[in-house]
Amino acid sequence: MNDIERRVVILSLVAMKGEDPDLWGYARLRKSILLLQKEEGVPLGFPFTLERERPVSPELQLFLEKMMFENDLEVRNTPSGFRSVIGKHGHALLQEYPGMIERYKKQVGRVFSRVRDMSLTDLRVAARNAYLDHPE
């Protein structure tokens, strides 16, 4: 999967808000991306390691920072804290690559359905378990 495809898959996840407009905090987004990759088999290609009993990926963190720098994602301060939203360039990418969105729609939808109402603590446990169940 190339960087554009990775961006579109991540953006399609961030686009899913449900009834919570402030859903995508940084930790929730990273853990959800891990679930997309590990449990749903979306070939995002981010390597993860276990650090203090939590799976982390410096490459994913750098990739998300690059997405923010290039206005694919924006960070907004909300009553719930800082949250990721789709930036201007991100909206353009979603319009430009509908086939990519469709290709991974089911996997993204399953992850969203699973994490949208999950506490961050429960999501951390789910991410750790996914990492342990799907070693690299």
Alpha-carbon distance of 41 to 74, in angstroms, equals: 27
* Confidence at residue 53, expressed as pLDDT on a 0 to 100 scale: 81
Domain coverage including residue 42: 3-133
* Confidence at residue 41, expressed as pLDDT on a 0 to 100 scale: 95
Alpha-carbon distance of 96 to 106, in angstroms, equals: 19
Task: Please answer whether residues 83 and 76 qualify as being in contact, where contact means their C-beta atoms are separated by less than 8 angstroms.
Answer: yes
Alpha-carbon distance of 20 to 78, in angstroms, equals: 12
Total domains in the chain come to 1
* Confidence at residue 42, expressed as pLDDT on a 0 to 100 scale: 97
Per residue of the chain (136 residues), give pLDDT as tens. Answer: 999 999 999 999 999 987 776 688 889 999 999 999 999 999 999 999 988 888 999 999 999 999 999 999 999 888 878 889 999 999 999 999 999 999 999 999 999 999 998 998 999 999 999 999 997 7
- What's 110's domain CATH number? 1.10.10
Alpha-carbon distance of 95 to 120, in angstroms, equals: 31
